[in-house]
Structure 1
Amino acid sequence: MILNHDNFEYIKIPFKFSKKYSILLFTSGIIYGFVYNCAIFVLSIVLDRLGSSRFSLSNLIRPLSIYLICMGLMFLINILQTNYQNNFKYHAFIESNKSLYTKKYRMNYILNEDSIILDKFNMLKNFDENIVNYVKSLVFFVTLFFQLLFLFFLISVYSIPTASLICLFTIIILFQVSKGGNATYEAHKKVQPLEREKNVIKEILVDFSYVEERNLFKYGDYLCTRYNNKANESRKYKNKSLSIWFFKAQFGGITFIIFTIIISFILGLALLRGEISLGLFVSLFSTFIQLSDIMSWDLSDNVDHFIESSSKNRDYIEFLNLDESEYKDSISPSITKEIDSIEFKNVSFRYLNSENTILTNINFILECGKKYAIVGENGCGKTTIFKLLLGLYQNYEGKILFFDKNSNSLNINIFRNDLCVVFQDFSNYFISIKDFLQLGTSHTLLEEEIYEIFDKFNIDLKISFLSNGLDTPLGNILEEGTNISGGQWQKLCLARAVLSKKNLLILDEPTSAIDPISELKIMETFKALCSNKTIIYITHRLATIKDCDNIFVIDAGNVVENGNHKNLMCVNGLYRKMFDTQKSWYKNELGGDLLEAEN
C-alpha cells in the first residue's frame, strides 16, 4: 500500500524540519498543477481559433498571451522549487543530524552494542537526502494528481466512460509500480551489514595505524579477497533492486502507451462525431504523450523514493523512540550523594537478541571504604559486572541496590559525581594535558598537585621541553602536540582518578598496556594515594589485589569463589591456579619473586 496511517504521520516530519519551505514546496506543486491544466485548456482554444474559418489576429492575442504567461509561470515555479528544495535540504541536514546524534548519545548504552540498531543508524546517516526525496515525491504526486484530476473532469464533460477508463488505468499503473517498492527497500536493507563489514575491512587495508601488522603478517591478500566477496554480494542485491525498478518503469510506460492509444482512438471518434474540437483533441493528445513519459520513468522513480523514504521515516521515528539513559549535562555537587554500599541480589544478565546468559544469580555486597576485586579469565563476565555497576546496562534480572534502593528507581547521575572510572578501553582525547586531567573533576586542578602526582607515578612527558607546558595538546593532530605511548596514556588515566578526589574508584584492567613489574609498582603508589577510598578492581592480573578485603572470582558468569587472598590460596581452587600461573610474570632481574606469594 502506498498510503496508510503511518504515512500521514511521516508527512509531519518535513514540517518539523522546516515548516516554511515545506509549505512553499507543496503550495508551488499545487499551483504548478493548476497552471499546467490551464495551459492545456488555453492551448486548445488557441488551436481552435487558428483553424477557425473566421480567424483573426485580435481573437488570438488574448488566449496566446495567457498561454505564454502559463508557460512562463511554470518555468518560474520550477526555478523557485529548486531554490526551495536547496533551502529545505539545508534545514533538513541541520535538524536531522541534530536529532539523530543527540539520540545516539542519549540512548541506552546497551543499544550501542546491538548490530541491528547500528545498521539502522548507518542507514539514517544521510536522512536529510532521504527526507528531501520524500518531499520531492510528495510534490510530484500532488502535481500529478491535479494534472490527472483536470483531465478527468475535462473528458468527463464529453464522455464519462472515457474519464472512468483514465481512472482505471491510473490505478493499475500505481498498483504495479508500488508493488515492488518494499522489495527494493528490503534489498537496500540487506546491503547494510555487508557495507558495514566492507568499511571495516577497507579501514584495515588502508589506514596507516595497521601498516606495520599488514606488512608483518601479510594478511592483505586475504582481506582483499574478502572485501571483493562482500562487494560482489552487495552488488548482487543492488542489481536486483535496479532490475525491479527497471521492470516497474517499463511496465508503467508500456501500460500508459496502450492507454494513450485507446484514449486517442476514443477521442478521435469523439472528434469525428463533432463532440470535441480539433484544438482540444490535439491538446489532449499531446498531453497524454507527455504523461506517458511521466507515468513510466518519473512515476516509478518517485514511487520508489516515496516507499523507500517512508520506510526510512519509519526507521527514523523508531530510532528516536528508543529508550534513553537518564541524562544530565552536569550534576550539581550540592545534590551529589556519597555511595555507602552497593549490593547485587540474584543478578542475571543477557545481551539484547541473545539467548546466552552472561551472568547467573550474582550476589555480593560492597561496603564503603573497603577494597574489592572482581577477577577471572577473559570473557568470564567481569566487564559486564563493571558496566552494571556503572548503570550502563538496565535490562538485567534481580536487583542492584545503592543504599538499599534499586538502581532502576534512582537517578544514577546524582551519585555518579561521587565515583571515578578508569576504563581498559579508554578514550584518547587530543586536548591539553591539563584539560585531560580535569575531565570529570569538579574542582580546579593546580599545577603543583599535577606535577606532584606525575612524580609519584613516574609520568615523564618531558614537559620541561614543551613550550606550552601542561597546556600542550596530547597526540599529534596539532603541530605543537606531543605523542605518548599506551602505557603513558594509562598512567594519565590513573593520575586523573587520584586527582579527582572521588570516594569510589572503579578500575577495569587499568594497566593492561603496562608490563607486569611496572604495573605492580604503579598500583602500589595508587593504593597509597587512595588508602581511604573505596576501590573496585576488575582484572585478570592478580598481583595488585593481594591486599583487597574481598575478592570475587568469576567463572562462566558465576561467582565460584569469594574471600581474601590468604583464604582463597588455601582453597586451592581457580584463584590459586591463576595466581600460581602468573607468578612467573613478576620475577625481577635477579630472579627474585616480587610477589612473595603466601601459600
Structure 2
Amino acid sequence: MKEKILTDKKYGLRDYLYIPFSIYPFGCLLKLLTKLVSALLPALQVLTMAAFIDRVTLVVQGKAGGTEVYVPLLLLACILAFTYLNGQLIAFLNLKTELRLAGTYETALLDKRGKLEYWHIENDDSWNVVDRTCKETTEKLLRGFDSLLDMGELLIRVLSLLIILTLQVWWIGLAILAVSIPLFRVSLKAGKENYEAYRNAEKKTREAEYLHKVLTERESAEERTLFGYSDWLNKKWLEKYETARKITMSVMLRNYIKMKGSSLITVAISLIIILVLLYPLSQGKLTAGMFIALVSAALELIQLMSWQLARLTEQMAKNKAYMDDLTEFVGLSEDDGALKEKNASPDVVEEVEFRDVSFRYPGTDSYILKHFSLRIEKGRHYAFVGINGAGKTTIVKLLTGLYRGYEGDIFINGRNSREYDSRQLMDMFSVVYQDFARYQISFADNIRLGNRAEMDEARFSQVLSFNEIGEIAQALPNGTDTCLGKIKKNGVDLSGGQWQKIAIGRALYQRASIRIMDEPTAALDPVSESNVYRIFGEASRDVTTIFITHRLGAARLADTIVVLDGGNAAETGSHEELMAKQGIYAEMFEAQRSWYQ
C-alpha cells in the first residue's frame, strides 16, 4: 500500500481522493454518498417547504382537508432527521478514516523520511519541505479530502437551487453565475497568497517554537532560574511570534477585504431577486409557499456563494500548495539501505584507506577535506586531533556513509565503500557522538538500542562490567529495569557523566569492527575526559578505535595520532614522535599541558 501511495510523481488535488480511497474505500464511499444526499437536500427542502405552506394555506382557507399536510410534513421530518443523523455518521466516519490514514499514510511518510539521504537533514531548504509535509499529516490529508467533497456538495447545492430559481425567473441563474466566477477567482488567489504567507512565516514560527521550548521545558529550568533570563527571552519569543503573525495577518486581512467586497455584490443581487419575485407573487403567478421557498433559496445562495464558496476555494488553494510540497518531499533523494534491518553479524573491518579524498558539504564552496589520505589498520587505536572545523567529524560522516558525494575513494577491506549500502557501512561502526541521545526509557533498553537485532544477555552483562556502567545500574532502585529521565513518575534522572557512560555502553553493545568517540566528553574537564577515553580504549582492547578531539590529553593513549590541518593529515605518528617533530601537535600540546598536570 505504501508503495502505491507515495510514488515519485506530480501530486495534485485528485490525490486527496485517491489516497484516502486507497486506504479506506468503504468509509470514503459512504462519506461520498452522504455528501451527495446532503447536496440535494436544500433543493428538496425548498420544494417541500413550498408544498407544505401552500397546503396549510388551503387547509386554513377550508379548500383542502387536513390530511393534505401529512406528506410534505413527513418529508420535512425526514429531512431534519437525516440532517441530525448525518452529522453523527460523518463524525464517526471521520474518526475511522483518520485512524486508517494515520496507520498507513503517516507511516508511509515516516518511511520516506527515514530513507532520506542524510544531507537533507542538514540542509535548511530540504528540512523546511520535510517539516511542512510531515507536520499534521493526517489532518491535512483528511481536510483536503473533506474540502473536495464539500466543494462537490456545494456545487450540486448551488446548481439545484439555481435550477429552481431559473424556472421561475430565467435570468436569475445567469446573474448569480456572473458574480460567482470572479468570486471564485478571488478566493483561489487568496488561498495561494495565504499559503505562501504561511511558508514565509514558517522560519520565524520555528524560531519562536524553539524559544518557547526553552522557556517552558524543564531541561533549561535551572539556568532560567539561575540567570534570570526568562523576561528577556520572552521578549525575543514575542518578537519572533509577532513577526510571523503579522506576515500571515496582513495577507489574510487584505484577502478578507477583497472577499467581503465581492460578497456584498452577491448580497445585492439576492435582494434584487427577492424584490423581483414580489411581482409574480402579486400577480398570482407564484404561490405564497413558493415565494417563501424561493426567498429561502436566495438567502441560502447568499450563504453559499459569499462565505462557503470563498472559504472552500481558499482551502482548495492551500490544499494544492500542500500537494506541491508533497511532490517535492517525495522527490527528495533516498538512501537505499537506510531502512534495511541491522545485521547481527556485520563484516569485520581489516583495513580502511582514504585515498585522495576531498569533500565539501552540499550547497557550499569551501572544502572541509582536501586530498586527504590515510590508512587505518585493524586493532590499532587512532586519535584525530585539530581545531574546531578541521574536518574530524566529517571523516566519521564519510566513513559511516552519511555522505557519499566526496571526491576520491575510500576503501574498506580493499572494496570501494560506494559499493556498500548505508546499512552495511553503519553496522561496521559504532559511534558515541558529541550530542549523544538521552533516551527516557529503561536502563536496559538504553543499552540494547545499540543492537536491537541481537538480544545477547552475555554481551549485555559484559557491557555492565565496562566503564563503571554496572555501578550506575546497581545504584538504581529497580536495577536495569529502572526508567531513566523524568517522563515517568518513578523515573530517575542521571548526571551528565552518567548519561555519557550509558551512551558509551550502548556503543560497546553493538557488534562493530571500529568504535568511534566523536568528542562526547567536550563538557568534561580535561582530566575526566582523558579518563573516559582510557576506559573506552581498555574496553575496546582488541577493536579498532578512533578518538576525535580537539583536546590532547586522550591523544597520548592512541597508537597513531592524526593531526588535521587545512583539510589534510598534516602530521601522523605517536605522541612521542609528534612531540619530537616540534610541529603543530607539539605546539598544541604545550599550550594545553597545564590542563593535565
Is the pair's TM-score, using the shorter chain for normalization, greater than 0.5? yes
Partners of 1:309 and 1:184 in 2: CA distance: 11
Long gaps (5+) in structure 1:
588-599
Letter of the aligned partner of 2:41 in structure 1?
V
Local SS of the residue matching 2:175: helix
Letter of the aligned partner of 2:19 in structure 1?
I
Alignment check: 8 A CA contact 2:344 2:511 kept? no
**Structure 2 residue 113 is matched with structure 1 residue 107:** no
The 5-angstrom pairing of residues 99-248 of structure 1 reads 99-123=108-132, 124-155=134-165, 157=167, 161-248=171-258
Local SS of the residue matching 2:43: helix
Question: 2:91 aligns to what?
Answer: 82
Long gaps (5+) in structure 2:
1-9
Deviation at 1:182, TM superposition (A): 0.9
Local SS of the residue matching 1:6: coil
Rate the CA distance shift 1:148–1:220 in 2: closer, same or farther, 3 A.
closer
Question: 1:449 aligns to what?
Answer: 462
Rate the CA distance shift 1:342–1:35 in 2: closer, same or farther, 3 A.
same
Local SS of the residue matching 1:392: coil
Question: 2:28 aligns to what?
Answer: 22
**Structure 2 residue 335 is matched with structure 1 residue 327:** no
49, 56, 60: which one aligns with 2:64: 56
Rate the CA distance shift 1:166–1:462 in 2: closer, same or farther, 3 A.
closer
Q: Please list the CA deviations of residues 346-373 of structure 1 after superposition, one character each: whole Å capped at 9, or x if unmatched.
A: 4444444445543334333333333333
Letter of the aligned partner of 1:27 in structure 2?
L
Letter of the aligned partner of 1:305 in structure 2?
Q
Rate the CA distance shift 1:504–1:171 in 2: closer, same or farther, 3 A.
same
Local SS of the residue matching 1:259: helix
Deviation at 1:447, TM superposition (A): 7.1
Local SS of the residue matching 2:547: strand
Partners of 2:178 and 2:152 in 1: CA distance: 19
The 5-angstrom pairing of residues 229-308 of structure 1 reads 229-264=239-274, 279-308=289-318
Partners of 1:256 and 1:345 in 2: CA distance: 74
Question: 2:393 aligns to what?
Answer: 383
- What is the number of equivalent residue pairs in this alignment? 580
Partners of 1:547 and 1:287 in 2: CA distance: 87
Alignment check: 8 A CA contact 2:385 2:548 kept? yes
Letter of the aligned partner of 1:7 in structure 2?
L
Rate the CA distance shift 1:31–1:492 in 2: closer, same or farther, 3 A.
closer
**Structure 2 residue 414 is matched with structure 1 residue 401:** no
Partners of 1:300 and 1:577 in 2: CA distance: 71
Alignment check: 8 A CA contact 2:154 2:309 kept? no
The 5-angstrom pairing of residues 59-74 of structure 1 reads 59-74=68-83
Local SS of the residue matching 1:428: coil
Partners of 2:503 and 2:99 in 1: CA distance: 41
Partners of 2:464 and 2:14 in 1: CA distance: 62
Letter of the aligned partner of 1:69 in structure 2?
C
Deviation at 1:530, TM superposition (A): 3.0
Rate the CA distance shift 1:148–1:362 in 2: closer, same or farther, 3 A.
same
36, 41, 50: which one aligns with 1:35: 41
Partners of 2:106 and 2:243 in 1: CA distance: 30
Question: 2:4 aligns to what?
Answer: none
Alignment check: 8 A CA contact 1:346 1:362 kept? yes
Alignment check: 8 A CA contact 2:382 2:561 kept? yes
Partners of 1:573 and 1:584 in 2: CA distance: 19
Partners of 1:9 and 1:436 in 2: CA distance: 41
Deviation at 1:117, TM superposition (A): 4.1
Question: 2:6 aligns to what?
Answer: none
Moved more, 442-451 or 11-20: 442-451
Alignment check: 8 A CA contact 1:248 1:300 kept? no
Deviation at 1:285, TM superposition (A): 2.6
Question: 1:546 aligns to what?
Answer: 556
**Structure 2 residue 315 is matched with structure 1 residue 309:** no
Q: Please list the CA deviations of residues 194-233 of structure 1 after superposition, one character each: whole Å capped at 9, or x if unmatched.
A: 2221122222223333233334444333312212211221
Partners of 2:541 and 2:11 in 1: CA distance: 63
Letter of the aligned partner of 2:352 in structure 1?
I
Alignment check: 8 A CA contact 1:568 1:576 kept? yes
Alignment check: 8 A CA contact 1:10 1:314 kept? no
Local SS of the residue matching 2:120: helix
Alignment check: 8 A CA contact 2:399 2:425 kept? no
Question: 1:533 aligns to what?
Answer: 543
Local SS of the residue matching 1:461: helix
Deviation at 1:268, TM superposition (A): 5.4
Alignment check: 8 A CA contact 1:374 1:536 kept? yes
Local SS of the residue matching 2:548: strand
Rate the CA distance shift 1:221–1:184 in 2: closer, same or farther, 3 A.
same
Q: Please list the CA deviations of residues 314-337 of structure 1 after superposition, one character each: whole Å capped at 9, or x if unmatched.
A: 324543443333234633435x32
Deviation at 1:8, TM superposition (A): 1.6
Deviation at 1:521, TM superposition (A): 4.1
Deviation at 1:290, TM superposition (A): 1.8
Alignment check: 8 A CA contact 2:356 2:408 kept? yes
The 5-angstrom pairing of residues 429-468 of structure 1 reads 429-441=439-451, 442=454, 443-445=456-458, 449-450=462-463, 452-453=465-466, 457-458=467-468, 461=471, 464=474, 466=476, 468=478
Deviation at 1:183, TM superposition (A): 0.8
405, 409, 416: which one aligns with 2:426: 416
Alignment check: 8 A CA contact 1:177 1:300 kept? yes
Question: 2:349 aligns to what?
Answer: 339
Rate the CA distance shift 1:356–1:46 in 2: closer, same or farther, 3 A.
farther
Rate the CA distance shift 1:56–1:372 in 2: closer, same or farther, 3 A.
same
**Identical counterparts, % of pairs:** 28
**Structure 2 residue 377 is matched with structure 1 residue 367:** yes
Rate the CA distance shift 1:459–1:193 in 2: closer, same or farther, 3 A.
same
Rate the CA distance shift 1:254–1:516 in 2: closer, same or farther, 3 A.
same
Deviation at 1:548, TM superposition (A): 4.0
Moved more, 66-75 or 21-30: 66-75
Alignment check: 8 A CA contact 2:176 2:266 kept? no
Partners of 2:497 and 2:592 in 1: CA distance: 20
Alignment check: 8 A CA contact 2:158 2:304 kept? no
Question: 1:12 aligns to what?
Answer: 18
Rate the CA distance shift 1:330–1:157 in 2: closer, same or farther, 3 A.
same
Alignment check: 8 A CA contact 1:344 1:363 kept? yes
Letter of the aligned partner of 1:130 in structure 2?
K
Alignment check: 8 A CA contact 1:474 1:484 kept? yes
Alignment check: 8 A CA contact 1:476 1:483 kept? yes
Local SS of the residue matching 1:7: coil
Alignment check: 8 A CA contact 1:380 1:557 kept? yes
Alignment check: 8 A CA contact 2:533 2:554 kept? yes
Alignment check: 8 A CA contact 2:357 2:369 kept? yes
Alignment check: 8 A CA contact 2:358 2:370 kept? yes
Q: Give TM-score, length-normalised by structure 2.
A: 0.85
Rate the CA distance shift 1:269–1:164 in 2: closer, same or farther, 3 A.
same
Local SS of the residue matching 2:153: helix
Rate the CA distance shift 1:264–1:56 in 2: closer, same or farther, 3 A.
same
Q: Please list the CA deviations of residues 393-421 of structure 1 after superposition, one character each: whole Å capped at 9, or x if unmatched.
A: 23444433333444333223235333322
Quote the RMSD (CA, aligned, Å): 3.4
Moved more, 367-376 or 182-191: 367-376
Moved more, 573-582 or 352-361: 352-361
Rate the CA distance shift 1:301–1:101 in 2: closer, same or farther, 3 A.
same
Letter of the aligned partner of 1:302 in structure 2?
L
